[in-house]
Structure 1
Amino acid sequence: MRAITYDRFGSAGEVLTLEEVPTPSPAEGEVLVRLKTSGVNPSDIRARAGGRPGVVKPPFPKIIPHSDGAGVIEAVGAGVPADRIGERVWIWNGQWQRAFGTAAEYIALPSAQAVRLPDETTFEEGAVLGIPGLTACHAVLGGGSVEGKTVFVSGGAGTVGRLAVQVAASSGATVLASARGEEGLEAARTAGAAHVFDYTDADLADRILDATGGRPMDRIVEVEFGRNAETNARIVAERGTIAAYGSAKDMSPQIPFYPLMFKAVTLDLVLVYLLDEEERRRAVENLTSLLTRRALDLRIAQVLPLHQCAEAHDIVAEGRRAGSVLLSI
């Protein structure tokens, strides 16, 4: 089969190679998926570039990148019902703690990691579900229903943030969001945010509370935890939750501990790779329900052929996108 591989850290153009590798066979409890699409996420770029803390060399001799993708089950291993053959599926954790991910024609992986793709959802949309979709669903709904609550989404024009706005709005919350520039603000607004704010505003906390008549946020979905810790401490409600899935601009933040403690705030650090079985089951169920209701606009910025994987990595790394970047296989 054709696959993109790398065996050392470096720039995309230097280390990513298109080659022929053996097609895997499904082991016991596994399925073999003929992939149609592969999703490119920032975490894939960091992994290939050697940007994960404490990791000095690739964990496997040869790696096929990417954890997200969608396709059709072509074969099953022992213990997996044969009626799964022919099923349209999307993939989660395709390359998490595994050597071979979705930037290939085939992937063999545990049956549970290939989730039935709703009939209403395309293969392109399916390649957005593993990391962005599950992150948005868990960050918004991981603590339970948000119906009737106020939810603030930081970075509401980003891939995860814009999905989080849609998840919250479709789940009955009043949603507020931050973004930057007219295009970003409009993206958050059309996703379902009742109020949008420029995140560079020096008076951001005051403007948010003015918009709600002083009502604080029951839940905050945060993409830049360190940069926004002070603002969030001001706007979060007593016993509220800050669900943070990123802090790239300040990876060793100082936090306003006492303002958060005296509101009994819960800090939920979201890493969808490590959801437990029950958390993942709920996130998948919530995501499937939203997809079936066509409540999500899974914005696709660009689809490139497999051999242009390096270019896809560069597009994501440089922020030259308004939506997800995918490979067509």
Structure 2
Amino acid sequence: MRAIVQREFGASEVLRIEEVALPVPAEGEVRVRVAAAGVHAVDIDIRREAAPPSMPRPVLPMTPGREIAGIVDAVGPGVDAGLVGERVVAHVGFRSGGYAEFALAVASALHPLVDGVTFSQAVATIGTGRTAQLVWDAAQIRSTDVVVVPGASGGLGSQLVQLALSAGATVVALYGGAAKRDVVENLARGGKRARGRLLPLDATDESWPARMARLLDGQQPSVLLDGVGGATGRAALESLGRGGRVVIIGWSSGEVLRLDTDDIVRASLTVTVPLGRPVAELRALETGALAALAEGRTSPPVDEYPLEDAAAAHDAIEQRRQQGKVVLIPAPR
């Protein structure tokens, strides 16, 4: 089979397509013919040998990829043979191996896919979607909220926008440049997402805070879900009304959101950082994310690349060019 193999740490060029042996499922495992593999920012950290200390250092050579969706192809001892042929999605965790035509997963990690859900949507939901559920639980968004989401065109930001719209909130969806406009404008279309009000704004235009103020006509944002940080995150923070809630979920700009106790006291802010803590019920978050997808509360935009273009997929994330969740698609053979 074909797989992406990483034999050294470094830039994206270390990701190369190779012919490798077909994996054999052990006891309690299944083999999945991969139809879509998710690409995550953590994959990039692992590739660069910059993963958080909580993650085990990978043994090279390795095949990256922790999110897979496809069809069960074979089962190991102790696994129900009736799973063969089932459409599934799974987060395989630190074992990785998803950037390939076939991958192994523990049978207990599988989630069945309902009709109408595509493999790319499923793989966009299983990992990034469970993170969105964790953030959603922390944010406690209501229909009366005005929510600012920087990085709204990304895999996580787009799902948070859709969850907030489905709750009936007003969402200021910030994106980085005209190439990402269509992705963001489409987030409100279909399903239950039309309940809310979507205000897409280009954050590369420095006048966006003034434009937002005009569109809100006297309202002030009440929630900031910030995965960008830097100048954009700071401007969004300064727009919040008294009693606003700040949920910090990342810093794709390279700079964490700057705030101090003066900011918190001045506006009576509540600040939460939900990521990085131990999470006991990951499967429950995955189930919740897949339910949101099946119910039409989310419909993740995806940015698909052929499997052999894994390096280009990593580049798109590192250069902040992605339009939705980045997904690798193995060519059928």
- TM-score for the superposition, normalised by structure 1: 0.80
Q: Which runs of 5+ in 2 are unaligned?
A: 189-196
Structure-2 residue corresponding to 1:162: 158
- Post-superposition offset of 1:64: 1.0
Q: Distance in 2 between matches of 1:218 and 1:285?
A: 28
Contact 2:245 2:271 in 1 (8 A): yes
Structure-2 residue corresponding to 1:178: 174
Q: Distance in 2 between matches of 1:51 and 1:90?
A: 27
- Post-superposition offset of 1:117: 1.7
Matches within 5 A, 1:187-226: 187-192=183-188, 194-202=198-206, 204-205=208-209, 207-226=211-230
Match of 1:284 among 267, 271, 286: 286
3-state secondary structure, aligned to 2:85: coil
Q: Distance in 2 between matches of 1:319 and 1:161?
A: 13
- Post-superposition offset of 1:167: 2.0
Contact 1:31 1:77 in 2 (8 A): yes
Q: Distance in 1 between matches of 2:289 and 2:163?
A: 9
Q: Which amino acid aligns with 2:302?
A: I
Contact 1:32 1:75 in 2 (8 A): yes
Give percent identity, aligned residues only. Answer: 24
Contact 2:130 2:288 in 1 (8 A): no
Structure-2 residue corresponding to 1:265: 270
Q: Which amino acid aligns with 1:302?
A: E
Matches within 5 A, 1:139-150: 139-144=135-140, 146-150=142-146
Q: Which amino acid aligns with 1:117?
A: L
The answer to whether 1:242 aligns with 2:242 is no
Task: Say if 1:239 and 1:118 are closer, same or farther in 2 by CA, change over 3 A.
Answer: farther
Contact 2:222 2:244 in 1 (8 A): yes
Q: Which amino acid aligns with 1:199?
A: A
Task: Say if 1:85 and 1:163 are closer, same or farther in 2 by CA, change over 3 A.
Answer: same
Structure-1 residue corresponding to 2:194: none
The alignment of Structure 1 onto Structure 2 pairs a total of residues equal to: 320
Q: Which runs of 5+ in 1 are unaligned?
A: none
Task: Say if 1:275 and 1:196 are closer, same or farther in 2 by CA, change over 3 A.
Answer: farther
- Post-superposition offset of 1:177: 1.6
Task: Say if 1:133 and 1:54 are closer, same or farther in 2 by CA, change over 3 A.
Answer: closer
Q: Which amino acid aligns with 2:128?
A: P
Contact 1:73 1:87 in 2 (8 A): yes
Q: Which amino acid aligns with 2:249?
A: Y
Structure-1 residue corresponding to 2:304: 302
Q: Distance in 2 between matches of 1:54 and 1:278?
A: 21
- Post-superposition offset of 1:191: 1.5
Note the alpha carbon deviations across 1:96-141, whole angstroms, 9 max, x for none.
Answer: 433x320123322333432222211112322322333333343334
Contact 1:68 1:127 in 2 (8 A): yes
The answer to whether 1:47 aligns with 2:49 is no
- Post-superposition offset of 1:222: 1.3
Q: Distance in 1 between matches of 2:206 and 2:308?
A: 44
Task: Say if 1:147 and 1:49 are closer, same or farther in 2 by CA, change over 3 A.
Answer: same
Note the alpha carbon deviations across 1:75-110, whole angstroms, 9 max, x for none.
Answer: 445665554443211122x3x433x32012332233
Contact 2:158 2:301 in 1 (8 A): no
- Post-superposition offset of 1:276: 2.0
Q: Which amino acid aligns with 1:38?
A: A
- RMSD between aligned residues: 3.3
Q: Distance in 2 between matches of 1:134 and 1:109?
A: 18
Task: Say if 1:279 and 1:244 are closer, same or farther in 2 by CA, change over 3 A.
Answer: farther
Q: Mean alpha-carbon deviation: is it higher for 311-320 or for 151-160?
A: 311-320
Q: Distance in 2 between matches of 1:296 and 1:135?
A: 13
